[in-house]
Structure 1
Amino acid sequence: MAQNYYENEYGRYSVPDGLDARPAVKKVKSGDVYEPRTIAFMRREVGSGDIVHAGTFFGDFLPALSSSLAEDARIWAFEPNPESFAHATRTIDLNGLSNVSLTNAAVSNGAGELLFRTHNPDGEALGGHSHMVKAPGKGITSVKSVRLDDMIPEDRHVSILQLDVEGHEKKALLGAKGIIERCNPIVILEDFEDVLWLIETFGSERYDRVIQVHGNRAFLPLGRKVQTKTDG
């Protein structure tokens, strides 16, 4: 792991080597903020509750989100890629983030193990584009999987559930059914096209509006008013 760190307006970051083409790495290494509107939206809308942040990568969202939380609130962060998890752990340490709980696991609809591609067959690291696969092979490792409903205590109020899980959204959401029904959080999903599935699964009486923030869709609970600055 690289021993240096990079900074932007929100904090310091331990950044993986060999991933300079990845947008988050490129932005942070240049001193900029990756997805500033997504971060601003989450900071503005979290209120007094917790944030679930799955697909943490090297922790590029963590300092900004941590500083926006109420006194007793927490970030529940999850990252299955072992190398990314190590960098996210160091990012937490570099910034002294005492309100972040980071778990080295994928989020899914069941506890166990999943096959996870961290490298292309030619050995190129995928970083934040690592993803679940169905068959073993070169560049694929076995990672722990957890249900969010098993990981977040029932006495915690989750204001925002944000998933960047590279195609594993449906299973991750099914594993968070209790949280969604109990807390009615804003749900933020990257590159998620099946809007109808989410509304049918969790009810149109629960989510009645979807807005675009960067490449993410934010599903808003019924009657929830937010300041909307969508991409255009």
Structure 2
Amino acid sequence: MSEQVFENEYGRYSVPEQLDTRPAVRRIKAGEVYEPKTIAFMRDAVGTGDIIHAGTFFGDFLPGLSSALAPDARIWAFEPNPASYRHATETIQLNDLTNVSLTNAALSNRSGSIHFRTHDEAGAALGGHSHFVDGSGLGVEEVASVMLDFAVPLDRPVSVLQLDIEGHEIEALWGAYHIINRWKPILVLEEFDRPRWIRKQFPRVKYERRGRLHGNVVYLPEGREL
């Protein structure tokens, strides 16, 4: 994927070509914000803590989130698709985002590698719809996988944990067990409407489902109000 640079109210973006079917690409190329309600919510909710942001794609969330952080806070961003990672790296450089740590890896419940479909069988790039698969094949790459409990220092206060990882949420949340129990972050999970599972896995936090933002389900820890 080659590069094009577009901008909106938050910053400038390295946007991949040949992915105009993806909503994030269309919105950014039109000078608009993709998922404006989600970004606004995370900006308001982060307080003085860090953000974990997985499924970074070309970095369409990064400028908007970066400018809302406290002076010593960070974004811990993860993108397994090598092509999307390169665009996200360029987006970080275009905006001089010194408070973003970007890792070219998938989130999981184990460190190692997973199979990740980045292209369909005809060779077309999937971009932000790249996803975990069980085996190898056409359009599938082996990418690094990490556990959040090891990828983010446990002494970093995490305020918001946001996942847009195309069906691999359970494994990623298991891999963040200690972060979630220690810091009780707000969870913003794309199309993961499973409040009973969340409460069962993290009973000490007592998460409550508080609604949707675009396609994301928001869970607040007990006692947290916005």
Q: What TM-score do the two structures reach when normalised by structure 1?
A: 0.95
Asked whether the equivalents of residues 50 and 160 of structure 1 are also in contact (C-alpha less than 8 Å), the reply is yes
- What does residue 189 of structure 1 align with? 189
- What does residue 154 of structure 1 align with? 154
Cα deviation, 1:133-165, whole Å, max 9, x if unaligned, reads: 001100000000000000111210000000000
Asked whether the equivalents of residues 209 and 217 of structure 2 are also in contact (C-alpha less than 8 Å), the reply is no
Q: Helix, strand or coil: the match of 2:63?
A: helix
Q: Helix, strand or coil: the match of 2:212?
A: strand
Asked whether the equivalents of residues 59 and 92 of structure 1 are also in contact (C-alpha less than 8 Å), the reply is yes
- What does residue 8 of structure 1 align with? 8
Provide the rounded CA distance (Å) in 1 between the counterparts of 2:108 and 2:224. 27
Task: State the 1:209 CA deviation.
Answer: 3.5
- Aligned pairs for 1:35-184 (under 5 A) are 35-184=35-184
RMSD between superposed Cα atoms in Å: 1.0
Unpaired runs of 5+ residues, structure 2, are: none
Asked whether the equivalents of residues 185 and 221 of structure 2 are also in contact (C-alpha less than 8 Å), the reply is yes
Provide the rounded CA distance (Å) in 1 between the counterparts of 2:54 and 2:68. 18
> Partner letter of residue 30 of structure 1?
A
Task: State the 1:195 CA deviation.
Answer: 2.2
Asked whether the equivalents of residues 106 and 146 of structure 1 are also in contact (C-alpha less than 8 Å), the reply is yes
Unpaired runs of 5+ residues, structure 1, are: 227-232
Task: State the 1:71 CA deviation.
Answer: 0.2
Task: State the 1:210 CA deviation.
Answer: 2.6
Asked whether the equivalents of residues 195 and 208 of structure 2 are also in contact (C-alpha less than 8 Å), the reply is no
Asked whether the equivalents of residues 52 and 75 of structure 2 are also in contact (C-alpha less than 8 Å), the reply is yes
Task: State the 1:220 CA deviation.
Answer: 0.3
- What does residue 198 of structure 1 align with? 198
How many residue pairs match? The answer is: 226
Task: State the 1:199 CA deviation.
Answer: 1.2
Task: State the 1:63 CA deviation.
Answer: 0.1
Asked whether the equivalents of residues 209 and 222 of structure 1 are also in contact (C-alpha less than 8 Å), the reply is no
Percent identical among aligned pairs is 61
Provide the rounded CA distance (Å) in 1 between the counterparts of 2:53 and 2:143. 18
Asked whether the equivalents of residues 116 and 132 of structure 2 are also in contact (C-alpha less than 8 Å), the reply is yes
Provide the rounded CA distance (Å) in 2 between the counterparts of 1:3 and 1:174. 35
Q: Helix, strand or coil: the match of 1:15?
A: strand
> Partner letter of residue 200 of structure 2?
E
Q: What TM-score do the two structures reach when normalised by structure 2?
A: 0.98
Relative distance call for 1:19 and 1:3 in structure 2 (3 A) is closer
- Say if 2:29 is the partner of 1:29: yes
